[in-house]
Chains A and B, each alone.
Chain A
Amino acid sequence: MEMETRCDKVGVVETTKPDSATCQSLVTRLAFTCAKRLTGVDLESSGLVNWTEAEPSSVGPFLIGVAGGSASGKTTVCNKIMQGLGDRRCVMIALDWFYKGLEDEEDASSYNFDHPDSLDFELLLLCLEKLIRGQSTEVPCYDFSTHKRLPVKRLITPGEVVIIEGILTFYPLDIRNMLHMKIFVDEDPDTCLCRRIRRDVSSRGRTIESVLSQYEKFVKPSYEEFIAPTKRYADIIVPRGAENLVAIDLVIKHIALKLSQPDLRRLYPNLVIMGDNPQIQGLHSVFRDREASREDFIFHADRLIRLIAEEGLSLLPFQQSSVYTPTGDVYHGFKYSAELASVSIMRGGDAMEAGLRAVCKNICIGKMLIAKDPLDPSSDRKVIYCKLPSELSQKHVFLLDPILGTGKTAVKAVEELLRRGCIESHIIILSLVASSEGVRSCFEHFPQLKLVTSAIDHLHVSGRVTPGLGEFADRYFGT
């Protein structure tokens, strides 16, 4: 009986993995807090291990977009989120600051402030890019009574969380794609109008008549045309606005969880990094060593590959299954509910096959060779050879690539798999070491795919992964 390749799609209950319950963190450093989480024991106080402090993360801020109709309570929701996050460095940016404003001869009553053209999204994009790089940025100040930008600018310093709040936050594609979390505040239109009248009359020096005429002429039509359609991009829709304490609490908990993850997993939920225990560190310390003999290299790489394959298997869908044990009692467990195939990217991926076969008997393994055209070295990489198992669209696919460097090869391979009918969310890349750049590249191209790795390294300007482990296939195959 072959478990891994059995297809059983009746009554599939997708059970998500309980996040390994272990939590994980950057492998490049030993953080004793991680081991404590993993093991439940305070190894440090037991005197067994000398741990060093974890390095601060360099993954950039967590970007949250908050959109919704005018006066729907966006700002209040944002404030509550910021309060809930306590001492975290939180930066809030209002889309209102980026109004282009009126020319001298223009009449405010005939200007549509709810139209995307009224906002300077290009400037917003520049500001956000700076904040993502960890730099301070200047934002414009806008005067709502004169409808003009003030000559002064405000300095915004980078934070761990950046919240962008405004009616049209999800409207421009490039900004929408930058957001790690999108919240749409949904409030009853009557309530919104009441609030808007109160606010504009009391704090922005307007008359009720002008607010109402603007509402009928611009606010409502623009909401329907530009704002409401962006609701579908939201990750979370919060009804009843700021009164919805449960929703706000959930959002705060999620952000706090993300902030507790010091690495790329904060940005990419489909990334699994499994290397934060001494065991995996120990394996890395052997085969990364340039002095390691070939025998040692293969032995330790194989051990790690086997662990990675087991981790990959745990990302597959399971369904509930109850069995009788020999004592006659019932055990409530799981069984695999997906058909699995594997594709190795030559040559490194071939080296991972033995480890995979050790845990999946009879798995179908396809091959792909991706390289630059030898006659034209300046060309892009392309698929030179490709032999894949049949019916890929029905299967979950492990894509084997031991070292994820720039990610270009993996992206090419995934493109090819998709072209052959694979489903993006069914592709799981298994790698030993991935560069953060490669990880970013993969997820930016294919946010749905999953990636398992045992360590995150960096990409050197030369295109090599550092500290890395050299040319994997050469060391494994002895060439």
Chain B
Amino acid sequence: MIPGKSVHVHPPTSQLKALMTIIRDKDTNSSDFVFYADRIIRLVIEFALNFLPVQQKIVTTPTNAQYEGVEFHTKILGVSIVRAGEAMESALRAVCRNVRIGKILIQRDEHSIKPCLYYSKLPVDTSERHVLLMDPMLGTGGTAIMALQLLLQAGVKEERIILVNILSSRDGIIQVHKEFPRITIITGEIDEHLNDSGFIVPGCGDFGDRYFGTL
């Protein structure tokens, strides 16, 4: 079991599983990978938005009847972890027009294999916003933890952060949750293991390389 109650996996429909099957297949070509990855990202982003606060809103329909609905009333910010996280930006933009998007570049130091912050750019009012931190794959969790530390330093409230993955490793979730128990984690599927090189198994390979065609 994954600790904590704020980890949410997208409902495991056959549909999602069929999409996952395509992007996980090593023989899937680049254009199919992008098309189907985009569809999964869109589903996961729409799912993640469910976890933003809403308030009740009553609107009048053209038939002059009242519809009791809700509205999202908070300011949000998308933050992508460069490079793979950038693949999720267009889906976020497609559902939240004019959303602000910050970037964080974290790379592994080749000697120590530890993640290292290279660059970050966040809007000035970051601390007032709900943040969707986007990274398609959650492996060891090292990168995500560093990004989360950065967000907290920028003044974001921990419980206002939603980490959005399309594929997470169990270990990664446990690690991230140990450090930041109050964030919400949204993912498409959870894989059991990491291999020795830190890849999710069975996973889908290097997401960034496959999405951006730099294999």
The interface of chain A, by Cβ under 8 A from chain B, is: 1, 3, 15-18, 20-22, 28-30, 35, 38-42, 48-50, 52, 277-279, 281-282, 284-286, 288-291, 299, 303, 306-307, 310-311, 313-314, 318, 321, 323-327, 329-331, 333-336, 359, 361, 460, 464-471, 475
> Chain B nearest CB: distance from A62 CB in Å?
26
| B62 interface residue (CB < 8 Å to A) | yes
Interface residues of B (CB under 8 A from A): 5-6, 8, 11-18, 20-22, 24-27, 29, 32, 35-36, 39, 42-43, 46-47, 49-57, 59-72, 94-95, 97, 195, 199-206, 210
Q: Is the CB of A282 within 8 A of B6?
A: no
Knowing A17-B15, A282-B71 touch, does A331 contact B54 (C-beta < 8 A)?
A: no
- Given A334-B17, A470-B63, A323 contacting B12 (CB threshold 8 A): no
| Contact with A469, one of B61, B201, B206 (Cβ below 8 angstroms) | B61
How far, in whole Å, are A29 and B68 apart by their CA atoms in the complex? 7
The distance in angstroms between the C-alpha atoms of A284 and B67, with both chains bound, is 9
User: Given A325-B25, A331-B21, do A282 and B61 touch, yes or no (CB 8 Å)?
Assistant: no
> In the complex, are the beta carbons of A335 and B24 less than 8 A apart?
no
A1: nearest chain-B partner, CB-CB: B32
Contact B203 A326, beta carbon cutoff 8 Å = yes
A291, B133: Cα distance in complex, Å: 33
Bound complex: CA of A2 vs CA of B184, how far in Å?
35
- In the assembled complex, the Cα of A318 lies from the Cα of B43 at a distance in Å of 19
Residue of B with least CB distance to A42: B5
Q: Which residues of B contact A282 (CB under 8 A)?
A: 49, 54, 69-72
CB neighbours (8 Å) of B55 from chain A are 50
10 contacts between A and B (CB under 8 A): A21-B13, A30-B70, A279-B49, A282-B70, A323-B21, A326-B204, A327-B205, A330-B202, A465-B63, A470-B61
Verify B69–A18 contact, CB threshold 8 A: no
Cross-chain contact A323 with B26 (CB below 8 angstroms): yes
Q: How far is the CB of A409 from chain B (nearest CB, A)?
A: 18
Q: Which of A285, A311, A334 contacts B70 (CB 8 A)?
A: A285
A278 touches B54 (CB 8 A): yes
- Nearest A residue (CB) for B57: A285
Asked if A466 contacts B206 (CB within 8 A), the reply is: no
Looking at the complex, which one of B11, B26, B56 makes contact with A21 (CB distance below 8 Å)?
B11
Residues of B within 8 A of A35 (CB): 50
Contact A326 to B26, CB < 8 A, known contacts A279-B46, A460-B63: yes
Instruction: Identify the closest chain A residue to B7 (Cβ).
Output: A40
Contacts of B22 in A (CB 8 A): 3, 335
Q: Within 8 Å CB of B65, what residues of A?
A: 460, 466-468
B201/A327 in contact, CB under 8 A: yes
Contact of A314 (CB < 8 Å), options: B14, B62, B210: B14
- Identify the closest chain A residue to B195 (Cβ): A327
Chain A neighbourhood of B13, CB < 8 A:
17-18, 20-21, 314
Known: A331-B21, A334-B14, A460-B63. A285 touches B69 (CB 8 A): yes
Please name the 4 residue pairs, one residue from A and one from B, whose CB atoms are nearest each other, closest first: A470-B62, A326-B205, A333-B21, A285-B69
**Bound complex: CA of A460 vs CA of B65, how far in Å?**
10
Q: Which of B65, B72, B200 lies at the interface centre, i.e. has the most chain A CB atoms within 10 A of its CB?
A: B65
The interface residues of chain A lying within 8 Å CB-to-CB of B199 are 327
A306 vs B39: C-alpha distance when bound (angstroms):
10
CB of B168, distance to nearest CB on chain A (Å): 15
Distance from B129 Cβ to chain A, minimum over Cβ atoms (Å): 15
- B51 CB to closest chain A CB (Å) equals 7
Question: Which B residues lie within 8 Å of A333 (CB)?
Answer: 17-18, 20-21, 24
Chain B residue at minimum C-beta to C-beta distance from A4: B18
What is the bound-complex CA distance between A335 and B22, given in angstroms? 8
- Which of A28, A289, A326 is most buried by chain B, counting CB atoms within 10 A of its CB? A326
Query: A460–B46 Cα gap in the complex (Å)?
Result: 32
Alpha-carbon gap, A466 to B60, bound state (A): 11
